[in-house]
Structure 1
Amino acid sequence: MRNEDLIAELIGQNVLFVLLAVFIVVCILAGVRIVPQSQKFVVERLGRLRSVLGPGINFIVPFLDRVRHKVSILERQLPAMSQDAITSDNVLVQVETSVFYRIIEPEKTVYRIRDVDGAISTTVAGIVRSEIGRMELDQVQANRSSLIAAVREQVAQQVDDWGIEVTRAEILDVNLDAATRAAMLQQLNAERARRAQVTEAEGKKRAVELQAEAELYAATQEAEARRVRADAEAYATQVVAVAIAENGLEAAQYQVALKQVEAFQAVASKQGNQTIVLPANAMDAFGDAFKMLKGRS
């Protein structure tokens, strides 16, 4: 009996050691948490927030601490949202937006807000309506970058209590209703027609200015030519006057005789059978001219 009691005692001790070893292994497994790089774990102890585990190996108290939430810290994109807004000049527009965000404080996100995406969507819709309500339609179309910056800044302020960082906020499109689009198209066509008329009028005005400049230039050149001819005639008259003053009446008669000879030569050089009638004293004039030429040579 003693051997049997000894064997039973040994078996009991071995079972106890095995159970103790299993308990230790379970405690180790329950107390060690390996957190991926893209996540954070929210730990509760008896139903209350205990800590937030970052990436890597972490230790918790087995059976007391429990990982309640595993939160991804990767950047997220909300589905494209579309909401109606009215500009300050009473134009109904439909704005399509998209928001990118990431969770930086999981303990705030899991305990302060239930539906993160829905809350951000509602916040963005309200801010977009408010900002567009301060602007006219032309400003909405022209200042889209400033509108995006204002929306991103206000959204970031609103979601700060939720442990969220808004990385980007985009306005994808601004659509108009059919009536407004037709009115804008009509206005655009009218503006194009006005610009075409202005361009045509400016072209005609420029053509008139160029024509006037051309006529003025032609008149200036004609006046200059007349002045040159007048100067030449005055110079010739001065030369003749000087010759008469120096040589007396013979110089004048010489010039007149030369002009007559040149005139008869021009008549005789024309083609065809021509009959030249000379005055009675023409030969005397030729004779005087020849005498003068002979005398001058």
Structure 2
Amino acid sequence: MPFTGLDIIIPVLVILVLLVLFTGIKTVGQGYNYTVERFGRYTKTLTPGLNLIIPFIDRIGAKMNMMEQVLDVPTQEVITRDNAIVAVDGVAFFQVLNAPQAAYQITNLQNAILNLTMTNIRSVMGSMDLDELLSNRDTINDRLLRIVDEAASPWGIKMTRVEIKDINPPANLVDSMARQMMAERTKRAQILEAEGLKQAQVLEAEGRKEAAFRDAEARERAAEAEARATQVVSEAIAKGDVQALNYFVALKYTEAMAKIGSANNSKVVLLPIEAASLIGSLGGIGAIAQEVFRNEGTAGAQRQAARPPVVRPDQG
């Protein structure tokens, strides 16, 4: 059976229709958005999944990555407010929130974000002193994030984080900082040592003061006791008791001789001529003791005689 022209045209038309249909079917991967342009003008955005466009009229414009992305900030030199030169590098994190704005509001989005971040790093860190720069890294990160995010918001992106990785001062500046830190630590150590010495001297002075006060109090009490003893002896002499005076003199003489004999450098003790009076005084002491014992014996006998007789049962 011979083929006619219609038999050939029909399969060709079917194949063309299928090709056209496949051309209008677009599959978008997860984490991406595609922009659609009709005759060069943006019309809509294709989301992840299966989408249909008009073949030969609509076309895919830009394929935008909607996931969070990381951008390395290369090392650059920054001059601080106190004219110190430091080498700084960092990292920036951003995410596209609006695919049409990111595609049509800026050319070369990543390069724009990179230059914007580097410029603001120089501005923010250049307005700070070196010491403030090294100790306030979190503050720098917060300021950079706020400034860069505000500047990039018209591009349909969100800056999630801007982090400074390394701040490297020159080698000579590092050595100067190390010497300064050592001098500061030495200064603090000397201050602490001086404070400790001061406290020790204060405590020692307080101890001497307390000891002197106690010594004075002891001397005062000894003087009071001496005055009391002298008063007692004086009263005894006034009553006609000469033995009390002899006892008092002998006691003082004995104490003086004991001190002379206990000296470390005294090998031979020479008694003065007046030592004979010491013997007389000792005799007075003996007389006083005999008189006391005799008075006590007499008093005991009188008490014994005054007691009533005891009658035993066997004598009744």
TM-score by length of 1: 0.78
1:12 maps to what in 2? 6
Q: In structure 1, which of residues 175, 180, 183 is the aligned counterpart of residue 173 of structure 2?
A: 180
2:122 maps to what in 1? 129
Establish whether residue 104 from structure 1 lines up as the match of residue 97 from structure 2.
Answer: yes
Q: In structure 1, which of residues 198, 215, 220 is the aligned counterpart of residue 191 of structure 2?
A: 198
Give SS of 1:51's match: strand
CA contact (8 A) 2:82 2:130 kept: yes
* Structure 1 runs (4+) greater than 6 angstroms displaced: 261-264
**CA displacement at 1:169 relative to structure 2:** 0.2
CA contact (8 A) 1:84 1:93 kept: yes
1:292 maps to what in 2? 292
Establish whether residue 253 from structure 1 lines up as the match of residue 247 from structure 2.
Answer: no
Give SS of 2:77's match: strand
**CA displacement at 1:291 relative to structure 2:** 2.0
Give SS of 1:279's match: helix
Q: Are the structure 2 counterparts of residues 45 and 285 from structure 1 closer, same or farther at C-alpha, using a change threshold of 3 Å?
A: closer
Aligned letter for 2:154? D
1:210 maps to what in 2? 203
Aligned letter for 1:253? Q
2:41 maps to what in 1? 48
Equivalents in 1 of 2:60, 2:48: separation in Å?
A: 14
Give SS of 2:178's match: helix
Q: Are the structure 2 counterparts of residues 40 and 296 from structure 1 closer, same or farther at C-alpha, using a change threshold of 3 Å?
A: same
Runs of 5+ consecutive residues of structure 1 not aligned to the other structure: 271-275
RMSD value over aligned CA atoms?
3.7
Equivalents in 2 of 1:249, 1:167: separation in Å?
A: 114
Task: Count the aligned residue pairs.
Answer: 283
Q: In structure 2, which of residues 51, 57, 81 is the aligned counterpart of residue 58 of structure 1?
A: 51
Using the TM superposition, name which of 74-83 and 54-63 deviates more: 54-63
CA contact (8 A) 1:128 1:151 kept: yes
Q: Write the mapping of 1:32-181 to structure 2, written as runs, cut at 5 A.
A: 32-181=25-174
Equivalents in 2 of 1:140, 1:218: separation in Å?
A: 57
CA contact (8 A) 1:93 1:174 kept: yes
**CA displacement at 1:84 relative to structure 2:** 1.0
TM-score by length of 2: 0.74
Give SS of 1:79's match: strand
Q: Are the structure 2 counterparts of residues 72 and 288 from structure 1 closer, same or farther at C-alpha, using a change threshold of 3 Å?
A: closer
Q: Are the structure 2 counterparts of residues 280 and 125 from structure 1 closer, same or farther at C-alpha, using a change threshold of 3 Å?
A: closer
> Identity across aligned pairs (percent)?
31
2:308 maps to what in 1? none
**CA displacement at 1:47 relative to structure 2:** 1.7
CA contact (8 A) 1:85 1:133 kept: yes
Q: Are the structure 2 counterparts of residues 292 and 85 from structure 1 closer, same or farther at C-alpha, using a change threshold of 3 Å?
A: same
